Structure formats: C-alpha cells, structure tokens
C-alpha cells in the first residue's frame, strides 16, 4: 500500500493516513467493515472497500434446533455455488438479503461440512 493514498467516496475525499484513529474507526463502523485489529489493517480494509474488493466474512448462526442461518458475501463465488447445490437438493432455502450478504437457511453448516 502506498503511503498517503487518497480515496474519494460519493461525498468526500479521504487521506486515511492523515485521519485520527477515532475517525477511522467511525468509517469502519459506518461501512460495516469487520476489522479493528490495528490502524494499518483498518486503512487497508477501507481502501479495499473503496475499490470494491472488500469481502465480508461468512456468518453461520444456529437457527432453531437443527438448522443454520448462513450469510454469504456474493463475491464468495465458491460458497454461493455450494449453497446453490444445497438449494437444488432441497437442503437449503433462500431467506433474505441484508448487510451486503445473501442469507440462507440450511440443515447443513457448509463451513464445517462442505457440500458433496
């Protein structure tokens, strides 16, 4: 990453390296980026977000007694294909889209078990 990288959003242009840490944290929170490791990593993630290359983590939560709610970023093509196979077999169904993720309800946790 080059020093002094300037990025432009719809409203403003930011030089992330010149911003205070609390401002960077607010930008991270506002953009729903899951990264609060250190200043350098936060700036790297903000730049990826601005370039359209930020990929959100896959979420798997227990849903009822024997099902999972799975949220997948659309750019994770391999997982999207696996979920499509589960839908074709009737082992999953599309739930909704929120927070930049497609959500599905499945009786298989694709992160632990994968799809055959």
Rounded mean pLDDT for each run of 10 residues along the chain, 116 residues in total: 49 80 92 85 91 86 91 90 93 89 91 68
Distance CA 16, CA 47 (A): 9
Q: Where on the phi/psi map is residue 108: left (φ > 0), alpha (ψ -120 to 50), or beta?
A: beta
How much is the pLDDT for 91? 92
How much is the pLDDT for 12? 60
Q: Check: CB of residue 59 under 8 Å from CB of residue 71.
A: yes
- Helices 39-50, 21-30: axis angle to 10 degrees equals 40
How much is the pLDDT for 114? 64
How much is the pLDDT for 116? 59
How much is the pLDDT for 59? 87
How much is the pLDDT for 64? 86
Burial class (CB within 10 angstroms; exposed 0-12, middle 13-18, buried 19+) of 42 = buried
How much is the pLDDT for 2? 46
């Amino acid at each position: 990453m080059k020093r002094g990288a300037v990025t432009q959003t719809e409203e403003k242009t930011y030089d992330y390296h010149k911003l205070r840490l609390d401002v960077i944290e607010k930008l991270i929170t506002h953009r729903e980026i899951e990264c609060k490791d250190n200043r350098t990593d936060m700036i790297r993630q903000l730049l990826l977000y601005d370039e359209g290359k930020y990929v959100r983590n896959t979420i798997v939560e227990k849903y009822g007694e024997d099902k999972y709610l799975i949220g997948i970023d659309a750019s994770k093509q391999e997982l999207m294909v696996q979920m499509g196979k589960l839908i074709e077999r009737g082992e999953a169904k599309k739930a909704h889209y929120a927070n930049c993720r497609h959500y599905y309800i499945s009786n298989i946790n694709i992160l632990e078990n994968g799809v055959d």
